[in-house]
Structure 1
Amino acid sequence: MFTRGLILAALVFLVDRLSKWWFMDVYELAKKGVVEILPIFNVVMVWNRGVSFSLFSAETETGRWILVIMTCVIVAVLAFWLRSVQARLTMVAIGLVIGGAIGNIYDRIVFGAVADFFQFHLGDWSFAVFNVADCFISLGAALLVWEAFFGSSSEKKSEKQLSP
């Protein structure tokens, strides 16, 4: 499961990097400003100095590197956890979070902030701007919560086998 989780994380990182490359370098979103895709959805170039969905902004260089270090620690803890995972859903969830986190770490190291593009809004009210990595991180976190509450079928089978 460990190798599969790392492969998934690498694929997530690659998808994130490709999306950011396309929006920044090919489509040149920064030059276009706000591009309306749907009445409730835009793409717009935003540099996020905080963590996912612009939470906990870190405007200084010290704050930037603290976020890099904290995120690297989280990735290391998740990788350590991944080594012992038996359930496929948990492996997928951790792989998604690791890959997304590494994508955002890359941005923070290379650009000083994370490139975000996707914006849902209702009239003048706007949800936070986010990127592909944030989507994968959120999906992975949701799967971990699901797994915590409902467990995998393989874990339920092993629990039944252990009980008298």
Structure 2
Amino acid sequence: MFARGLILAAVVFLLDRLSKWWFMDVYELARKGVVEILPVFNVVMVWNRGVSFSLFSAETDTGRWFLVGMTSVIVAILLFWLRSVHTRLTMVAIGLVIGGAIGNIYDRVIYGAVADFFQFHVGDWSFAVFNVADCFISCGAVVLAWDAFFGSGRADKEQKN
């Protein structure tokens, strides 16, 4: 399971890098500004200095490296957890989170902030701007929560009781 989780994390990382390369270097999104795809969905170049949904913005280098360190510790904990995983669902969830987190760590180290592109909005109200890594992190977190409440994690707890 560990090797498969690492392979999945690597694929997620590569998909994130590929999407960021395409939007930044090929499509030149920063030069184009806001590009409306649907009445409720745009692509736009945003540099996120915070964590998810721009929370806890880190405007200084100290804040930037703190976020790199904090995210790296989380990845290390997830790698440790991945070594003991026995179910495919948990392995997939952890692999998704690790790959996405490493994609965002890469951005912080190289660019000083995370490149985000996808924006859902209603009129002038914008939900958030996010990237491929964020999608994988969110999906992995939802799957982990689902597994904890309804899946193998709960079944294991009930068997112990």
**Aligned equivalents of 1:43, 1:94: Cα separation in 2:** 28
Counterparts in 2 of 1:98-109, with a 5 A limit? 98-109=98-109
Aligned length: 161
**Aligned equivalents of 1:126, 1:19: Cα separation in 2:** 21
The list of structure 1 runs, each at least 4 consecutive aligned residues, that deviate by more than 3 angstroms after superposition, is 155-160
Q: Structure 2: which amino acid aligns with 1:117?
A: F
Give TM-score, length-normalised by structure 2: 0.95
Aligned to 1:140: 140
Aligned to 1:59: 59
Aligned to 1:15: 15
Aligned to 1:32: 32
Give the CA RMSD over aligned residues. Answer: 1.7
Counterparts in 2 of 1:41-52, with a 5 A limit? 41-52=41-52
Counterparts in 2 of 1:66-81, with a 5 A limit? 66-81=66-81
In structure 1, runs of 5+ residues without a counterpart are none
Aligned to 1:115: 115
Aligned residues of 1:42 and 1:118 also touching (Cα < 8 A): yes
Residue by residue over 1:18-40, the C-alpha shift from the partner in whole angstroms, topping out at 9 and shown as x without a partner, is 00000000000000000000000
Q: Structure 1: which amino acid aligns with 2:21?
A: W
In structure 2, runs of 5+ residues without a counterpart are none
Q: Secondary structure at the match of 2:129?
A: coil
Residue by residue over 1:92-138, the C-alpha shift from the partner in whole angstroms, topping out at 9 and shown as x without a partner, is 00000000000000000000000000000000100110000000000
Aligned to 2:5: 5
Q: Secondary structure at the match of 1:128?
A: strand
The structure whose Rg is larger is 1
Aligned residues of 1:53 and 1:134 also touching (Cα < 8 A): no
Residue by residue over 1:62-120, the C-alpha shift from the partner in whole angstroms, topping out at 9 and shown as x without a partner, is 00000000000000000000000001100000000000000000000000000000000
Structure 1 residues 123 and 82: CA distance shift in structure 2, 3 A: same
Give TM-score, length-normalised by structure 1: 0.94
